[in-house]
Structure 1
Amino acid sequence: MVSNFYGKFFLISQWIIRQIYPTYKVEIPENTQEPVVYISHHQNLFNPFIIYLWFPKSLRTWILHVFLDRKSCYQQYVDYTFTKRMGMNKTIAKLCAYPLSFIISNLLKSGKGIPVYRGSRKIVNTFQLSVEALKRGESIVIYPTIDYTNTSNETKAMYEGYLYIEKYYFKETGQHVRFVPLHVSKKNRLIIADEPISFQENEHFSEGQKRIEHYIQNKLYELAKKCGDIE
């Protein structure tokens, strides 16, 4: 697995924040050393933040495409994040969004984020970029929680479309993608993964999709319970 491919801006920012933010330990099964796709709960940005900050190796993160483009990022903050979600006055939202859009878009590009195009045919680009990353030995992390604003430690409903990576990857390599449940425990300051799972030989895609989705959901729940994050 490629261990370090982040850009300088991201690495400098990561180093600075690590000096002031509590350290998180990482526990990952030994058999996840090859390129894998980690699946985690979004938890209103908490999990992406902690994993980006403390995961010991670089990861290609699936990120909504608007945050990787400065102008689109600005509009997202002005039209939705700051106004509709946070209730800001639009003038104030614009003043805040302008400098932040430069920082965030450049930071996430330096962090080698993979753009996700929801409800668009461009989603094919997301899968193609993901396959190329895996072929280079780069692991990926995806946060498919439907209600990404949910701050609960318990994983709720998740989009299952990410599993289509399997189709694209298998077509090009003849190998199966290994999906790994990844939990972040704030209580224990711990990033913990479970055993990987993959599609089986000659398994119908829809059957494998249901089986893996069920496994991921259950394992994320078990990891949260193991850490004492839920009762």
Structure 2
Amino acid sequence: MELTAADLQAVWLTIKLAFVVVAILLLLGTPLAWWLSHGSNRLKGAVNALVALPLVLPPSVLGFYFLIAFSPSGPIGYLTDAFGLESLAFTFEGLVLASVVYSLPFVVQPIQNAFEHLRQDVLEVTTLMRMSKWECFFKVVLPLSKNGFVTALVLGFAHTLGEFGVVLMIGGNISGETKVISIQIYEQVESLQYQRAHTLSLLLLVISFTCLMLISLVNKRWSFTR
């Protein structure tokens, strides 16, 4: 069965959301992962727990608290109102913010794991060579941690594609704005359009399986080239 215009719109919006979220998470998650892997602050344990919290917290709970935060009396809603901005509830920007938090551990933890497995003597050599911190990161740390970054990118992208509870709570089902694939599938099942729901579900299944295969193949290939 062919995808309808509404289905294609939901697919495009979901892919757009996933790309934006992963880009933000790579920018924010990389320094956070480095700090968690090499920092000695007493707060590191608490921050580690906060990063991992979306893994065990029901998405509907996270979405509910975001909905409260986006309200006029909430902290985020208060700030947007103070700057004359519209509420983030039921907007694409609101989905991005919530998705960044929801997919945070899927990006931070693989990168953190890669940083923790870096050999200390290699980092010490860069100091003796008087390399700057940026040179050390781009010429040494990044190439040695590429498996972690690929895993983080693919997992973050795939996880964002399959979001449901969070986007339903704070995004609703506004076509072209917040109606992603998972919401589109849910509506089709509710209206007994099982064939259309099956088509989109199969598409998500194929994408998710491909992402996992990509991680396996890349890690396997790079393990042989070390």
Alignment TM class, shorter chain as reference: under 0.3
Structure with more contact order per residue of length (Cα contacts < 8 Å, sep ≥ 6): 2
Whichever of the two has the greater Rg, that structure is 2
Higher strand share: 1
> What's the TM-score, normalizing by structure 2?
0.25
